[in-house]
Amino acid sequence: MIAPAAHGAGGRPPASVIVPFAGSDAELAALRERLGALAVRPGDEVIVSDNRGQAIHTPAHARNLAAAEAHCEWLVFLDADAAPDAGLLEAYFDPPPGPRTAVLAGAIADAAPPRAGLVARHALARGQMSHRRTLERAGTPYAQTANCAVRRSAFQEVGGFVDRARAGEDADLCFRLSRAGWELEERPAARVSHRPRATVRAWLCQLAVHGSGAQWLESRWPGEFPAPGALALAARVGRHLAQAAATLLRGRGEQAAFALLDAAGALAFELGRLRDNTRQRV
């Protein structure tokens, strides 16, 4: 059994915040500004893992590279499009994790600007990035790398993320840790806001990638992400279309548009299962 990390002043251990990045220089500057709002202590470190010139263009690979360089026992993984609360690190370690806890699952809230477009309003209404979706699922619960903390020694024990996975690497890591006897704890006060995709095209492409990740996970962990089958998918899409028609007749145009997006999203996710979820070295 691995002993819990030693706590520093104030009762929490130091943490390495790791954020994969592959955008423009302007986006990098904006990311650094968001991360600058984090309340840190001596011993903490913030690592932006720039993956633009790496051999494998996946967030998993960027996170693994940064984890190998990190010095702290706890690795806090965030997405580049997430904005952490200032007190994120304090909230992660209140209360202190148990000795067999490897994963702390933080909270994720969809956030949209005041004049957000239809896709962003839809994401906000549906809670698309909510941590509740992965912690309260029918299968094994897992934390999203958009906001989670992982004990470094446990991370190393199971080999970290699968480098070449485009999506689903967070669930896969949690499943391996769970099978190895490690535990997950929820930290709802450790919160980030997550920006949704701005256009329908970008959102559908994102869902297709997630669908690819789901099929990859199903191949590695049978029964965790089973495909619904053609008839079940057709029935689901049909229900969304019927809801769109009914709400439109009642004069609720935005709700009808949301239902149409639900139908399109379900199709994009399931079609994504046909795509390869791994990237080759460049």
pLDDT of residue 53: 80
pLDDT at 128: 85
**From edge to edge, which strands make up the β-sheet containing 15-21?**
45-50, 15-21, 74-78, 147-151, 101-110, 183-194, 82-84
pLDDT score recorded for residue 144? 97
pLDDT of residue 10: 55
CA–CA gap between residue 131 and residue 146 (Å, rounded):
9
Q: How many CB atoms lie within 10 A of CB 85?
A: 20
Burial of 215 (0-12, 13-18, 19+ CB in 10 A): buried
In the predicted structure, residue 7 carries a pLDDT above the cut 50: no
Confidence of residue 82 (pLDDT cuts 50, 70, 90): very high
As a whole number, mean pLDDT of residues 232-242 equals: 97
Residue type present at position 163: D
List the Cα angle 103/108/113 in 5-degree steps.
Answer: 160
Of 192, 196, 194, the closest CA to residue 122 belongs to 196
Alpha carbon of residue 13 to chain centroid: 23
Least confident of 58-72, 102-116, 153-167, 259-273: 102-116
Tell me the average pLDDT across 31-59.
Answer: 93
Give residue 282's pLDDT band: very low, low, confident or very high (50, 70, 90): low
Q: 61 burial class (0-12, 13-18, 19+ CB within 10 angstroms)?
A: buried
CATH code of 15-196, in short, is: 3.90.550.10
- For residues 223-244, average pLDDT: 97
Beta-carbon count within 10 A of 203 CB? 22
H or E stretch at 48: strand 45-50
In which residue are the tokens 């370690």 written?
93
- CA Rg, the chain, in Å? 19
